[in-house]
Amino acid sequence: MNCPGCDAEIVDPEGGKEEVLRVCAECGGLTVELADLKPLLLHNNLPGIESLGGRVVKDADTGVCPTCQVDLTLFEGGDRQQPEFYEVCEECGCVFIDGDSLDPELEPEKRVASFFSKFAAAVKKSRSGP
């Protein structure tokens, strides 16, 4: 499986254990299946990804889904000065968050919760105006 952000191989952990969150050792990008993301968001008192808002960025330069090899769809939230982004595969539901958007000091699950908390706040702020 290759990382959508940098195309480096994301290695499966030893012992054959299936990881819900896969972190790229090269760029810090993170992938998670939509079905695994929903409970993670709910556990952190966040709404489902479809309720977070944001907008599709047409003709964006996106990565390729590591699972089904189709182009990802880029979602943007927030204002133009400080936008937040994540990418989704509309075929299989794989979600990718660029490593630059994540706090490397946190455990992977907390990185995701922190990112989507910021994303939701940015969308809410952009809707309420200046």
Instruction: Quote the pLDDT of residue 10.
Output: 87
Q: Which residue has the tokens 């709910």?
A: 42
**Residue 3 domain flag:** no
**Residue 90 domain flag:** yes
- Taking each helix axis from N to C end, the angle separating 108-128 and 34-43, rounded to the nearest 10 degrees, works out to 80
**Residue 128 domain flag:** no
**Owning domain of residue 93:** 14-116
For the chain, which ranges sit under pLDDT 70?
A: 12-18, 129-130
Give the chain's domain count.
1
**Residue 123 domain flag:** no
**Residue 50 domain flag:** yes
What pTM value is reported for the model? Answer: 0.90
Instruction: Quote the pLDDT of residue 55.
Output: 92
